[in-house]
Structure 1
Amino acid sequence: MFRARDVVHDSLLTHDALRSQAWRRLYRGVYADADLPDSLDVRIRGARLISPSTAVFSGRTAAHLHGAPELADRRGLPVEVTVPAGVRFGPVRGLQVRRVDLPVSDVARVGEWRCTTGLRTALDIARWDPLPDAVAALDLLLARGVVAEVALREPAASRDGRGSRQARRAVELSDARAESQPESRLRVILTLAGLPPVPQCVVRGQGGEFLARVDLGYPELRVAVEYDGAWHAGNGQFVRDRRRLNLLTAAGWAVLHVTSADLRDTALLVERVRALLRRATTGK
């Protein structure tokens, strides 16, 4: 991985050679061996070659460095860097450049990388991302121990400025019990619609024996809402799911299964849940 100007200056490669299939351009003026994977780690390393020394990785890129790679695994997601307000840098295609004066206490070193601390990373995502995505990210960061709930709530409540109101709301809605990002988004959608469920709700039989744990539940109405990801179609999982569903049904629970397609039509999804709760309440 290298800057084009360096290898051309040292006569290691020519501009024509850089156009060959042996190299892949990561950013303007930055190239990598074409055999290297097109991964975020490679793009982070390339970004450091052109970023000023005062830059730190931030947002979802920082979350990746802190041990939450799921938050930055979307194809086409830019590498996020933050530079001091007075530094001239960018725009660079493939980079999301933010200009903020970070206090020293908000900067950490993870291995060889300078990035925002876990707390600052969580608060930035809470401010910048759409609310359901922000809450899903906070859930994961809490579950991974990147940031602690007690450490997250106080700064969110005291900060002001752009995005601070959403950050406070995202922190209020966050819950470390969530087991997947789609489950988190589903919980937020229902909560914002006035139908707050209990996450990771434990269902017990008449004798108090454990029957199941459902993604989202309304225990007083015996209604469960489950997110079914691709893994539910895996070998043996279908059989286990059916056995579990039979136990819930026998215990008088109604179960609504939600897929990724359902999350794209939130109005219809909310109406389906509302109707199920209404039937559980009135029998109609």
Structure 2
Amino acid sequence: MPPPRRPEQLRGRVFRKRDVLSRGLLTAGELRSSAWRRLFRGVYADAALPLTVGLRVTGAALLCPPGAVFSGRTAAHLLGATALADVGMPVEVTVDPAGRFGPVTGLRIRQAALAPGDVVRVGSRRCTSPVRTALDIARTEPLLDAVPALDVLLADGVVAHPELRQAAADLGGARGSRRAGRAVELADLRAESPPESRVRVLLALGGLAPVPQFVVRDAAGGFVARVDLAFPDARLAVEYDGAWHAEPGQFAKDRRRLDRLVAIGWTVLHVTAADLRDPVALVARIRAAYRRCTIGEGAR
């Protein structure tokens, strides 16, 4: 069987099916070969190109109507918070409500009238501004997803907390404003991972207020450890154990770190992905530990 035909004009390119067929560059049968990757309905790419969020954005731009703006997590990715989107997620786009567009498999399409200040240009792409992007995430996603995303936006410097708080307050009674306000209130740039953020949100919803990325020091002021979440008054630390804890040599480091914390009177609770599947039990376990440690601290 001969190799698939790959015209020079299409190598390294993203293109629309109707364009290459009308120009006679490929037939419909040739387009179905392994040389080409289907990104969306009627949009293809050279299969030699790596599949990335950027490639999918390029493909989506060929589909969207004039005036469409990338938004949500796709906008966050374009603005520099690349951890917030991956190739398995829909590309998010906001279009004028007066027009008709969609549905399109692989796109998440929102209809909204955007003010000029809500839109910025990143390279050749138009996307929602940092503040608008953060607010859209805050008012449309569940708290357990929105707050970790806001944490990343804050930590990456895409948006600042004061302007985000003001923007959330300015929403007034708009749809999703209460959810957005709560998400902004719970966001914290000190968080270092989405699972850590989720644990913090669960505890906050349960009436507990741990301090993220707390530095523990001994009586002489010497550094002991930095813990994911801490209740300093109870000398209680909550640590999320992700996959990286299984890396070679990490177990021994974790054990030495735990020993140092225990030696100065701290209690350490470990949380895993399995614990997040039963949030009620997780919060109850940490609340009970907090009470025990508080009583113990008061007796000292």
What one-letter code is carried by the residue in structure 2 that aligns with 1:101? A
Q: Counterpart of 2:197?
A: 184
1:275 aligns with 2:285: no
**Once the two structures are superposed, what CA deviation does each residue of 1:68-112 show, in whole Å capped at 9, x if it has no partner?**
111112x53100000111121111000001010100101001112
Q: Counterpart of 1:119?
A: 131
Q: Is the 8 A contact 2:119 2:128 kept in 1?
A: yes
User: How far is the alpha carbon of 1:206 from its aligned partner?
Assistant: 1.4
User: How far is the alpha carbon of 1:280 from its aligned partner?
Assistant: 1.4
1:33 to 46, 49, 66: 46
Q: Counterpart of 2:88?
A: 76
Q: Counterpart of 1:228?
A: 241
The structure that has the greater radius of gyration is 2
Q: Counterpart of 1:21?
A: 34
Q: Counterpart of 1:141?
A: 153
CA distance in 2, matches of 1:122, 1:14: 43
CA distance in 1, matches of 2:76, 2:267: 37
Q: Counterpart of 1:94?
A: 106
User: How far is the alpha carbon of 1:37 from its aligned partner?
Assistant: 2.2
1:256 to 269, 272, 275: 269
User: How far is the alpha carbon of 1:198 from its aligned partner?
Assistant: 1.1
Identity %: 63
What one-letter code is carried by the residue in structure 2 that aligns with 1:261? A
TM-score by length of 1: 0.96
CA distance in 2, matches of 1:25, 1:202: 49
CA distance in 1, matches of 2:237, 2:160: 28
User: How far is the alpha carbon of 1:248 from its aligned partner?
Assistant: 0.3
1:164 to 177, 194, 200: 177
Q: Counterpart of 1:205?
A: 218
What one-letter code is carried by the residue in structure 2 that aligns with 1:8? L
Q: Counterpart of 2:256?
A: 243
User: How far is the alpha carbon of 1:170 from its aligned partner?
Assistant: 0.4
1:132 to 131, 134, 144: 144
CA distance in 1, matches of 2:80, 2:275: 29
Point out the more displaced range, 202-211 or 175-184. 202-211
Q: Counterpart of 1:175?
A: 188
CA distance in 2, matches of 1:155, 1:81: 21
User: How far is the alpha carbon of 1:240 from its aligned partner?
Assistant: 1.8
What one-letter code is carried by the residue in structure 2 that aligns with 1:219? P
RMSD: 1.2
Q: Counterpart of 1:12?
A: 25
Q: Counterpart of 2:72?
A: 59
CA distance in 2, matches of 1:268, 1:64: 34
- How many residues of Structure 1 are paired with residues of Structure 2 in the alignment? 282
SS at match of 1:214: strand
User: How far is the alpha carbon of 1:166 from its aligned partner?
Assistant: 0.3
User: How far is the alpha carbon of 1:42 from its aligned partner?
Assistant: 1.0
SS at match of 1:199: strand
Q: Counterpart of 1:150?
A: 162
Point out the more displaced range, 270-279 or 141-150. 270-279
What one-letter code is carried by the residue in structure 2 that aligns with 1:271? A
Q: Is the 8 A contact 2:60 2:91 kept in 1?
A: yes
CA distance in 1, matches of 2:51, 2:71: 20
CA distance in 2, matches of 1:260, 1:17: 45
Q: Is the 8 A contact 2:233 2:294 kept in 1?
A: no
Point out the more displaced range, 53-62 or 202-211. 202-211
**4+ long deviations beyond 6 Å:** none
TM-score by length of 2: 0.91
SS at match of 1:261: helix
